[in-house]
Structure 1
Amino acid sequence: MYFMRHIASVSLILSILGFWQPTLAEPGNILPWRKQETPAPWAKNKCAGGFLEKFRLSGEINHPRTFTLQKLTELRDAVKTQNPSTVTEITVSFQTGSGPRTETYYGVPLWDLINNEKAGGGLEPRNPGQNTKNAFLRQYILVEATDCYGAVVAVGEIHPNFENKSVLVAFAKKANDGTVQLLTDEGFARLVVPGDRAGGRYISNIRNIVVLSAPPSPLEIKDFRYP
């Protein structure tokens, strides 16, 4: 009897002190692995994938814009009128998961999409680092698809004074019969990166093109070791 009274007293003390834990069967007890059953509203359908009729150009540029097929084709025509030598058609070969492909694409150079006054209006570096010389060389373009797949192109790759690579945002390609057809299974716009052996950066179903700057190096002088 004394033993039972002793147990009851200990239980009462623990309850008062807050050490008595509810059992898994008690109402209101939320299991840790069940807390995320309901996704946050902003996460719902975030990476749904599939066809999209527009994409957003934003980030470190002067004029963020949204592009549809009509606006993209109008920009291509304007760029070609301003400079007839601008590359808006390119034939590329690249490796895919189903084998090699060779395609001829038509579109707007990524450089002109960002810098033309009728489009992005030019680069605007906002995180130039401690040394601001050639700050644009710290910038890069993140291209994202509707399924959240993404890839990066450095500004130095497409800058006319550096690699000057003719990266396109394409909206059409040449069909087997030689006619030009709009993209369908690739979204209305896709990225084309000539020179890449694999097609990993050939982003289809583009939804976002964002210009960003590399952050300052996290390394300090003490992190460098010299022999």
Structure 2
Amino acid sequence: MSPHPIRRVPIRRVLTRRVFSRRCTALLAVPALLIAAFVAFLPGAAAEASGGGQPAATSAHHPKPPRPTPPPRPAAFVVKGAVAHPLRLTVADLAKYPQHTQQVSFVSGSGTQTHTYTGPRLVDVIQAAGPKFRPEVKNDLLRYAVLIRASDGYESVLSWPEITEGFGGVQALIAATEDGVSLAADGPRLTVPSDTKGGRYVSWITSITLVRVGS
């Protein structure tokens, strides 16, 4: 008889140990794979952070925003609204009216600007179109305003009494030149010399409309 008898282990216990061993191996493999993936990622991340790596082929492309389209330059502008004779004028046509020159300063988004303008008065051009005030209404002219519109949609308003002698008398011009340079290529510019800010200095004028705002 052998001094060391053979110890018999049940087959079920052997199978259980093998299954447990395989499960442990599988569970340990998952963290190992995650660590390997993280380590593989580090060189690329470090290179990208330092600027030495090449950009990924799938990186998003951000194009520069398009430049704003400049407003169309008006070939002519119209005088319309409550007038007997609507007009269609070019910058060259403004020479037919009495000319005035003024040096003005106003505050704009880029700071204070100072310019010299030449052209007819706004009130003279509208008078040439024949304002249709109501004679039966006392001081009907006090109920009117002038709407100036630019080719980019910008608009500004002056009251009729504001630019009329005997009331405001503001010498607003429809300027044909700025600092001695013709505005024929861009269209005329409205000036309002009584304004501190330049918001009503409308460029690229396309229309001047006399409107009645009273009841």
Q: Could you state the TM-score of these two structures normalised by the residue count of structure 2? A: 0.64
1:146 maps onto 2:151 in alignment:
yes
Q: Secondary structure at the match of 2:171?
A: coil
- Is the contact between residue 91 and residue 184 of structure 2 (CA under 8 Å) also seen in structure 1? no
| RMSD (Å) for aligned C-alpha atoms | 2.1
1:123 maps onto 2:123 in alignment:
no
- State the distance in 1 between where 2:143 and 2:168 align: 15
- State the distance in 2 between where 1:69 and 1:195 align: 23
- State the distance in 2 between where 1:58 and 1:66 align: 9
- State the distance in 2 between where 1:166 and 1:94 align: 15
Pair member with larger Rg: 2
After TM superposition, list the pairs within 5 Å mapping 1:39-118 onto structure 2.
49-73=71-95, 75-76=96-97, 79=98, 88-116=100-128
Partner of 2:170: 165
The Cα shift of 1:184 comes to 6.5
- Is the contact between residue 80 and residue 208 of structure 2 (CA under 8 Å) also seen in structure 1? yes
Per-residue CA deviation, residues 156-182 of structure 1 (Å, 9 max, x unaligned), is: 0111111111000001022xxxxx211
- Is the contact between residue 51 and residue 188 of structure 1 (CA under 8 Å) also seen in structure 2? yes
- Is the contact between residue 123 and residue 136 of structure 1 (CA under 8 Å) also seen in structure 2? no
Amino acid at match of 2:108: T
Amino acid at match of 1:193: V
1:182 maps onto 2:212 in alignment:
no
Which stretch of the first structure deviates more once superposed, 61-70 or 144-153?
A: 61-70
Unaligned runs of 5+ in 1: 1-47, 81-87, 175-179, 217-227
Q: Paired residue for 2:161, among 156, 160, 176?
A: 156
Per-residue CA deviation, residues 13-32 of structure 1 (Å, 9 max, x unaligned), is: xxxxxxxxxxxxxxxxxxxx
- Is the contact between residue 91 and residue 104 of structure 1 (CA under 8 Å) also seen in structure 2? yes
- State the distance in 2 between where 1:112 and 1:137 align: 17
After TM superposition, list the pairs within 5 Å mapping 1:6-25 onto structure 2.
none
Q: Could you state the TM-score of these two structures normalised by the residue count of structure 1? A: 0.60
* Identity of matched residues, %: 34
The count of aligned residue pairs is: 147
- Is the contact between residue 83 and residue 210 of structure 2 (CA under 8 Å) also seen in structure 1? yes
- State the distance in 1 between where 2:118 and 2:201 align: 14
- State the distance in 2 between where 1:137 and 1:96 align: 30
